[in-house]
Amino acid sequence: MAAREARRGARPVDLSASDFRKLFAEVTNWDRWRQRPEVGALHFITAERIAAAAGLVRRGVTVSLGRPLNTEAGIDNPEPARHEMTMLPDVDIGLGSLRFTKDYIGVDYHNEGHSHIDALCHVAYEGRLYGGLPDAKVTSRGAAAGAIGLLCDGLVGRGVLLDIPRVRGVRWLEPGDHVFPGDLDAAERAQGVSVEAGDILLVRTGHARRQSDLAPWDTSTRKAGLHPSVARFVAERRVAALGSDGNNDTAPSTTEGVAFPIHVLAINAMGIHLLDYLQFEDVVPLCEAAKRWEFLFVAAPLRIVGGTGSPVNPIAIL
Amino acid sequence: MAAREARRGARPVDLSASDFRKLFAEVTNWDRWRQRPEVGALHFITAERIAAAAGLVRRGVTVSLGRPLNTEAGIDNPEPARHEMTMLPDVDIGLGSLRFTKDYIGVDYHNEGHSHIDALCHVAYEGRLYGGLPDAKVTSRGAAAGAIGLLCDGLVGRGVLLDIPRVRGVRWLEPGDHVFPGDLDAAERAQGVSVEAGDILLVRTGHARRQSDLAPWDTSTRKAGLHPSVARFVAERRVAALGSDGNNDTAPSTTEGVAFPIHVLAINAMGIHLLDYLQFEDVVPLCEAAKRWEFLFVAAPLRIVGGTGSPVNPIAIL
Amino acid sequence: MAAREARRGARPVDLSASDFRKLFAEVTNWDRWRQRPEVGALHFITAERIAAAAGLVRRGVTVSLGRPLNTEAGIDNPEPARHEMTMLPDVDIGLGSLRFTKDYIGVDYHNEGHSHIDALCHVAYEGRLYGGLPDAKVTSRGAAAGAIGLLCDGLVGRGVLLDIPRVRGVRWLEPGDHVFPGDLDAAERAQGVSVEAGDILLVRTGHARRQSDLAPWDTSTRKAGLHPSVARFVAERRVAALGSDGNNDTAPSTTEGVAFPIHVLAINAMGIHLLDYLQFEDVVPLCEAAKRWEFLFVAAPLRIVGGTGSPVNPIAIL
Amino acid sequence: MAAREARRGARPVDLSASDFRKLFAEVTNWDRWRQRPEVGALHFITAERIAAAAGLVRRGVTVSLGRPLNTEAGIDNPEPARHEMTMLPDVDIGLGSLRFTKDYIGVDYHNEGHSHIDALCHVAYEGRLYGGLPDAKVTSRGAAAGAIGLLCDGLVGRGVLLDIPRVRGVRWLEPGDHVFPGDLDAAERAQGVSVEAGDILLVRTGHARRQSDLAPWDTSTRKAGLHPSVARFVAERRVAALGSDGNNDTAPSTTEGVAFPIHVLAINAMGIHLLDYLQFEDVVPLCEAAKRWEFLFVAAPLRIVGGTGSPVNPIAIL
């Protein structure tokens, strides 16, 4: 770990502002599709690929890729979910011995630590949303473009999990460390899987594992994530959606002047929905046992009209 | 319709309290399973059946069975969902030209009109939850038994949709009308499908359609649903979960002293999770086109610790 | 009542757009104060006047001018308050026989039917807030000008109640009817009170009484309120704050092109905080008994940083 | 400070369980009043005393005794308030150039750091509420006894502030330190004021000052407060309500088996409403300047039906 720390220490910024601008231009696909350009990389998910992904189901086992909603405020949970019991069996509701229990759930889900999906309107960069639309499309009434409604019928396809700590032989990547394109290549080889067009690419950094094993820390300022150069990999492979156990970005950023380069490149330049703060601790043993790192992936965002994303509990079906 | 109205008028109660008690005893399965008795009818969903359900996917088309979250109070939406934009591009957040949009979503989802799933702890009857556990297991801290966590890995299996208005040749069932076991048999024959062990049975009454076509009314007191005698059908076929476009129960109830007989019989006696206030308007044309009324069904409840259910957006994959 | 209805019917618009513009210019006081211009008409409340108002207390009786928070959605309550019990005595919290009860309260208080105060930032007109500040001062982060914090130390002064139904000899003003300056003059004479500089002027239309006596109706489109010409009265008397049992404005508006003329004139032109949806049903009998329609008035807005107002429970001390 | 720390260290428990039981019995007043026994110590606030308190107003200055609502989670704010802008000027709402700004405010106010008042139902001890009522009176529907509605017309009376750090010559009391009856006596003498029947007694420990001056700490486990023996002082003086800049109790407790002895003694035994997490930093300079530590005190709880208290912004009028 020392060498890596030293390496990071040696280059707090490894992507200059102009390099980032070039990278942005290189991967931008705003003009790629004539029909429904607003759905972006979801175009890569064709009906054929969904049907093929369903064909990956062998054992009939399902497993969550989401975290329990965390209702306790903490240094790594600054905006806890609200969960209140709203009806208990203590009240005679005039229905004889019949009683109901109810609860309220609410969450400002884009915040640190909540498993969620980012709609394309979640990121505005230089005044524009994905596709070049003005960011004024998002108002206090909700998003009039790039809203989560694009995924009202679910995000379904082949999920491919690349486990970076596994291929590096560590328990987790340390905060500030990056996943580089070479890590993804190495993981593909080690796992015998290849990321292809339309895939939902899931990258494990071990962030969730580190959180469960160590004392809480300020994850908003220190976490492992994808290096911006991964955007090229993602573009070349025609990835449809991207998820991680962190928020996909490394903190702190090593890109000059851009705090969340992966968010900008994936969402804003490429129209790729991001899945943040997933956990792969439950699916990893199943993958290891089956020696297969691909599965049918289903995420079903809540139908939030004008929403900028949704809390989600994605399911892997193996 | 007149004859049916007359029939209902003639017998406001068609199931006496003692008959209900007998029916409850007949379908109760509290002692059926030695292992993990608390999951109830989920036992019927085996890995083999999940794998087989995945094999139903042909076209690779996905479609939502949920409704958009309704944030406007109304006579049919007494507890609207809350949706607030919590960050807009109007604010310089110190990240240069990078801006984020965020929102908060919250809902007391068991109420009228919200697509949701009922956990087994949602219903207490005569002081007991499913399995005979004391209802004091559900406290202001949440449910210590029968919570939605039983479905943390999703509710996945074969979905079978029985379309009652279709077989009856009407647009929808009128409020107060029941779906009887004979309707289910008739729909099976007409659609060429058979409800089998482990199925997620979805019954269309046309309630959602009636709501979209007519002026709002007080749906809490007047809606079509399943007659309690349907519980025998459900038990015999070993249905794993049950969903409808209403809340599964007919309002008003025609069972003496029990306002929600299907809730009591399905959840409390049989350990069957209910899916309420779904909509089948989008899946029906796909089923008609394919002449198939079965599909891979995936519902992914939020991971609400101690929750009594969850808002859901179930996905059908055909 | 027939004559009045006819009168309203005869002139759906009684203030033209240009007349409104003149009235706005006439009452605007943006340049009146050199020091702390942003507090507007609060300047009229001097320490001397507060001390004098305290001197009005004779009997030592206190009474609420607010409504209970309404948690049930209805045609006159489209955004109900949220009230959830968050801790009950049912849970052993590890403190022996000691238990606590807690609850959560939340409200989007500016909506129909909630007793609240409007901060000066609540109204933007032609792109400007009170004082001519750009409305962009209010962002998704809160209000950077005209926020409720101006009243962090409370709104305290002489409250004067003018009871219009009393002087007109009716139970309430019908929806759509206006309180005219002549009504205020007549009420002053009948009640033996005179509105003076620094007063918190409270105008009873009987709206709350009508709501409690009749079936609910869509109050957002039909309610009694102040005619825009009342703005002159308010300006001349140097009123510091203005409250009513409706929302001060008449619905529907009879001003061409301006749906809420009193909101615009009072808040935007004159820097007058408005108190909406109060109730005077409890204070009226005390005033009648004492033959005094003035009292010490205290409203204590919650300290919402950047807030556009606050739910309030104003107290009259007689 | 060392001596005091040592003293605390030497006696982690200084009130045995049996001594507490005796003290509870000694101060209990459940049978004191025949008429409206449920309002408890509010009986001490008579109309005469309210009128007399109004007579204390000299300068006409008002000042808040509340804290701004804190929306940022932290170690001393585990349940932050929610504040969301729900309407901004960015949206054309179909009213021409007229725009409104709105916001939602919500808070689980009994938690650490929020200025609030405890209703009498907030504390259950040995299964009973104040007056001996069963704690089952508080259900998921709200409190059917001891609710905040007892104060719907406000808590108004003479406020007397005793500044303990001032009389001790320290900036604040350290966490874990107690205010003893002798401290109150000393403060009365030093300030030239005497606590009398019907007073709202406010005790400054300096907790809020310590929070603003030092780094955040876990205030739930470490804060200064009143020693249980203060209950005798409170009973003898016939105090009507009690407030502090902490939550009135010392943490950790030095009473055997009772974590919040002041809450139990004041609320449960004596029917005294508590005001928690106030701040006196703004009123202190005014008191010092006027050499007067008494004023008209007005707190106006929100009208939460069945509520266990309310967030408050109490106002002192001097």
Q: pLDDT-based confidence at A12, cuts 50/70/90? A: confident
Question: Which is nearest to A310 in space by CA: C62, B302, C125, C305?
Answer: B302
Residue A22 pLDDT exceeds 90 = yes
Cβ contact B85–D84 (<8 Å): yes
D171-226 pLDDT per residue, tens: 999 999 999 999 999 999 999 999 999 999 999 999 999 999 999 999 999 999 99
C66-108 pLDDT per residue, tens: 999 999 999 999 999 999 999 999 889 999 999 999 999 999 9
Looking at per-residue confidence, does D90 or B154 come out higher?
Answer: B154
Q: What's the pLDDT score for residue A8? A: 41
Question: Which is nearest to A152 in space by CA: B310, B313, B282, B302?
Answer: B313
Q: Which partners does chain D have (≥3 C-beta pairs < 8 Å)? A: A, B, C
Q: What's the pLDDT score for residue C116? A: 98
How far is the C-alpha of D295 from the C-alpha of C51, rounded, in Å?
12
Chain centroid, CA C73 distance in Å: 22
Cβ contact A88–D136 (<8 Å): no
Name the closest residue on chain A to residue D106, using Cα atoms. A82
Residue B117 pLDDT exceeds 70 = yes
In terms of Cβ atoms closer than 10 Å to its own Cβ (0-12, 13-18, 19+), residue A169 is exposed
Distance between B316 CA and the closest CA of chain A, angstroms: 8
Residue D10 pLDDT exceeds 60 = no
Residue B15 pLDDT exceeds 60 = yes
Cβ contact C140–B85 (<8 Å): yes
Q: How large is the average pLDDT for residues C155-159?
A: 98
Those residues whose C-beta lies under 8 Å from the C-beta of residue D308, and which sit 6 or more positions away, are C85, C101, C102, C103, D110, D118, D119, D121, D122, D138, D143, D147, D148
Residue C31 pLDDT exceeds 80 = yes
Q: How large is the average pLDDT for residues B80-98?
A: 94
Interface size A-D, in CB pairs within 8 Å, comes to 41
Please, which residues 200-219 of chain B have a Cβ atom closer than 8 Å to chain A? none
Residue B6 pLDDT exceeds 50 = no
Lowest mean pLDDT among B45-54, C5-14, C70-79, D112-121: C5-14
Q: Identity (one letter) of the amino acid at B117?
A: I
pTM of the model: 0.91
- Can you read off the two tokens belonging to residue D186? 């000393």
How far is the C-alpha of C317 from the C-alpha of D22, rounded, in Å?
40
Contacts of C86 in chain B (CB under 8 A): 140
Q: What's the pLDDT score for residue D2? A: 36
Smallest Cβ–Cβ distance between D140 and the set A73, A82, A85 belongs to A85
Long-range pairs for B34-39 at CB < 8 Å and ≥24 separation?
A: B37/B131, B38/B120, B38/B130, B38/B131, B38/B145, B38/B146, B38/B150, B38/B271, B39/B150, B39/B271
C134-145 pLDDT per residue, tens: 999 999 999 999
**B220 touches C: beta carbon within 8 Å:** no
How far is the C-alpha of B160 from the C-alpha of B200, rounded, in Å?
6
How far is the C-alpha of B8 from the C-alpha of A308, rounded, in Å?
47
Residue B227 pLDDT exceeds 80 = yes
Q: What's the pLDDT score for residue C91? A: 87
Q: How large is the average pLDDT for residues A44-51?
A: 98
Q: How large is the average pLDDT for residues A225-243?
A: 98
Name the closest residue on chain D to residue B103, using Cα atoms. D84
Name the closest residue on chain A to residue D103, using Cα atoms. A140
Q: What's the pLDDT score for residue D12? A: 75
Chain centroid, CA D83 distance in Å: 24
Q: Identity (one letter) of the amino acid at D97?
A: S
Per the prediction, chain B carries an average pLDDT of: 95
Chain centroid, CA D126 distance in Å: 23
Q: What's the pLDDT score for residue B159? A: 98
Cβ contact C121–D101 (<8 Å): yes
CA–CA distances in Å: residue A145 to residues A110, A312, D81: 18, 21, 30
Q: What is the ipTM of this complex?
A: 0.96
Name the closest residue on chain C to residue D110, using Cα atoms. C102
Query: Per DSSP, which regions of B216-312 are E strands?
Result: 225-226, 241-244, 273-276, 294-299, 309-311
- Can you read off the two tokens belonging to residue B123? 């219903």
Per the prediction, chain C carries an average pLDDT of: 95
A147-166 pLDDT per residue, tens: 999 999 999 999 999 999 99
Residue B180 pLDDT exceeds 50 = yes
Residue A5 pLDDT exceeds 50 = no
Backbone angles phi, psi at C10, to 5 degrees: -75, -20
- Can you read off the two tokens belonging to residue A257? 């002047």
Question: Which is nearest to D41 in space by CA: D267, D296, D253, D315?
Answer: D267
Those residues whose C-beta lies under 8 Å from the C-beta of residue C228, and which sit 6 or more positions away, are C15, C20, C23, C255, C261, C262, C265
C33-73 pLDDT per residue, tens: 999 999 999 999 999 999 999 999 999 999 999 999 999 99
Q: How large is the average pLDDT for residues C162-189?
A: 98
Q: What's the pLDDT score for residue D13? A: 85
Backbone angles phi, psi at B85, to 5 degrees: -75, 125
The rounded percent of chain B whose pLDDT value lies above 90 is 95
Q: How large is the average pLDDT for residues B79-102?
A: 95
Q: What's the pLDDT score for residue A1? A: 30
Q: Identity (one letter) of the amino acid at B91?
A: V
C225-259 pLDDT per residue, tens: 999 999 999 999 999 999 999 999 999 999 999 99
Q: How large is the average pLDDT for residues B113-136?
A: 98
The rounded percent of chain A whose pLDDT value lies above 90 is 95
Q: How large is the average pLDDT for residues B58-71?
A: 98
Residue A65 pLDDT exceeds 80 = yes
Rg (CA), chain B: 20
How far is the C-alpha of D86 from the C-alpha of C122, rounded, in Å?
12
Q: How large is the average pLDDT for residues A255-279?
A: 98
Chain centroid, CA B281 distance in Å: 15
Residue A59 pLDDT exceeds 90 = yes
In terms of Cβ atoms closer than 10 Å to its own Cβ (0-12, 13-18, 19+), residue B252 is middle
